[in-house]
Amino acid sequence: MQAFVIDAFSFSQLKERRDGSILISDLPRLSAECAATDGALSWSLEGGMAKMGHPLLRLTVTGEVQLMCQRCLTSYAFEVDSVSELILAKNDEHADEIEALIEDEEIDVVVGSKTFNIMDLIEDEALLAIPQSPKHTVCPDVVVDSSVSSSSPVAAIEAGASKKPSPFAVLKKINGRT
């Protein structure tokens, strides 16, 4: 993974803006969570100042990653669309002070530096955007019975699941017991 290092405080003070894209395969921690590592994420970073005068970074990460459904064990496309605001602090104690002042769960406080690696920040943001237990809304192999109301996805899944042969019935056939 290529490093993209900035002086975070200067970047914010000068209200700079950078954008680009990065291959998912270049992000090792994200790649480990994905079913496939093809594709890329687009990102945008914008510096500025928060309402209270603290340096601020606004990061946007978008793109599509392939995740493994925990229900049916097939891959599916998950759309990453994340925007975060990060207030920069000089050290951990300063970060704690700022968090106590702002009391806003939507804004994160991070310790900035003159050698702030943006690629790590982008990867962190993508990892936070994906679900801990990824699942299809409705798995593709589930057969929906037309007699089941379409307003109840759970009933549709249960109806589709009941049409599959029992694994024990298959084993009985293999053993010669019918």
Residue 33 DSSP SS3: helix
Same domain, 177 and 89: no
The answer to whether position 136 is within a domain reads: no
| pLDDT of 56 | 94
List, for residues 75-118, the tens digit of each pLDDT value: 999 999 999 999 999 988 888 888 888 877 777 899 999 999 99
Q: What is the pLDDT of residue 87?
A: 93
- Same domain? 24 vs 83: yes
pLDDT at 116: 92
pLDDT value of residue 148? 46
Overall pTM surpassing 0.85 (yes/no): no
Name the stretches of the chain with pLDDT < 70: 1-3, 141-178
What's the CA gap between 68 and 176, in Å, rounded?
Answer: 36
Query: Comparing C-alpha atoms, which of 48, 52, 60, 61 is closest to residue 8?
Result: 48
* Among candidate residues 40, 39, 12, the one with its CA nearest the CA of residue 122: 40
Question: Is 134 contained in some domain?
Answer: no
Q: Which among 81, 79, 43 has a CA at the least distance from the CA of 64?
A: 79
Regarding whether 168 and 111 lie in a shared domain, the answer is no
Q: What residue numbers bound the domain in which 60 lies?
A: 5-129
Q: What gap in Å lies between CA 27 and CA 21, rounded to an integer?
A: 12
pLDDT at residue 127 in the model? 95
